[in-house]
Structure 1
Amino acid sequence: MTSFAAPHISCNEQVGADIARIYNIQRYSLNDGRGIRTIVFFKGCPHRCPWCANPESISPKRETVRRKSQCLSCSPCLRDVDACPSGAYAHIGRDITLDALIREVMKDDVFFRASDGGVTLSGGEVLMQAPFATRLLQRLKGWGLRTAIETAGDAPASRLLPLARQCDEVLFDLKIMDAEQSERCLGIHLPRVLENFQRLVNEGIRVIPRLPLIPGYTLSEANVRAVLRFLQPLALTELHLLPFHSYGESKYRMLGQTWAMAGVSPPDVAVVDALRRIAEQQGYQVITGG
Structure 2
Amino acid sequence: MTLSAEPRISSELRIPIVVKRTVADNTLRGRIFNIQRFSLNDGQGIRTLVFFKGCPHRCPWCANPESMSPRIHVIKRQAKCLNCRTCLQDPDECPSGAMEYVGEDITLPELMKRLLKDEVFFRSSGGGVTLSGGEVLIQHAFASALLQELQALGIHTAIETAGDAPRDHLLALADRCDQVLFDFKIMDPSLARSILNMNQPRVLENFSELARRGVKLLPRLPLIPGYTLKPENMQQILDFLKPFHLNEIHLLPFHKYGEAKYPLLGKTYSMHKTPVPDAETLALYRALAESYGYRVTLGG
Question: TM-score, normalised to structure 1's length?
Answer: 0.93
Q: Which residue of 2 aligns with 1:285?
A: 295
Q: Which residue of 2 aligns with 1:7?
A: none
Q: 2:41 aligns with which of 31, 40, 48?
A: 31
Identity of aligned residues (%): 56
1:187 is aligned to 2:197: yes
Q: Distance in 1 between matches of 2:167 and 2:267?
A: 33
Q: 1:102 aligns with which of 91, 107, 112?
A: 112
Q: Distance in 2 between matches of 1:59 and 1:124?
A: 9
Q: Distance in 2 between matches of 1:284 and 1:131?
A: 34
Q: CA deviation at 1:135?
A: 0.7
1:224 is aligned to 2:234: yes
1:54 is aligned to 2:64: yes
Q: 1:201 aligns with which of 211, 214, 217?
A: 211
Matched letter for residue 207 of structure 2: F
Gaps of 5+ in 1: 1-12
Q: Deviations over 1:74-125 (max 9, x none)?
A: 2576221112110100000000001111111011000001000000000000
Q: CA deviation at 1:73?
A: 2.4
Counterpart contact for 2:48–2:115, Cα < 8 Å: yes
Give runs of ≥4 in structure 1 deviating > 2 Å: 13-17, 73-77
What SS is found at the alignment partner of 1:271?
helix
Q: CA deviation at 1:17?
A: 4.6
Q: Which residue of 2 aligns with 1:4?
A: none
Q: Distance in 1 between matches of 2:214 and 2:30?
A: 28
Matched letter for residue 266 of structure 1: V
Task: Give the 5 Å matches for 1:118-197.
Answer: 118-197=128-207
Matched letter for residue 185 of structure 1: I
1:90 is aligned to 2:72: no
Q: CA deviation at 1:189?
A: 0.3
Q: CA deviation at 1:68?
A: 2.0
Q: CA deviation at 1:282?
A: 1.1
1:268 is aligned to 2:278: yes
Counterpart contact for 1:45–1:128, Cα < 8 Å: yes
Q: 1:117 aligns with which of 108, 127, 133?
A: 127
Counterpart contact for 1:150–1:170, Cα < 8 Å: yes
What SS is found at the alignment partner of 2:219?
strand
Q: Which residue of 1 aligns with 2:29?
A: 19
Counterpart contact for 2:87–2:95, Cα < 8 Å: no
What SS is found at the alignment partner of 1:144?
coil
Q: Distance in 2 between matches of 1:225 and 1:154?
A: 21
Q: Distance in 1 between matches of 2:273 and 2:292?
A: 34
Q: CA deviation at 1:265?
A: 1.4
Q: Deviations over 1:191-233 (max 9, x none)?
A: 0000000111110110100010001000011111110000011
Matched letter for residue 239 of structure 1: I
Q: Distance in 2 between matches of 1:69 and 1:37?
A: 32
Q: CA deviation at 1:70?
A: 1.2
Q: Which residue of 2 aligns with 1:259?
A: 269
Structure 1 residues 86 and 63: alpha-carbon distance in aligned structure 2, compared to 1, 3 A threshold: same
Counterpart contact for 2:55–2:70, Cα < 8 Å: yes
Q: Distance in 2 between matches of 1:141 and 1:154?
A: 24
Q: CA deviation at 1:16?
A: 3.8
Q: Which residue of 2 aligns with 1:6?
A: none
Q: Deviations over 1:215-273 (max 9, x none)?
A: 10000111111100000111111111001101101000111211111121111111011
Q: Distance in 1 between matches of 2:87 and 2:104?
A: 24
Q: Which residue of 2 aligns with 1:10?
A: none
Gaps of 5+ in 2: 1-22
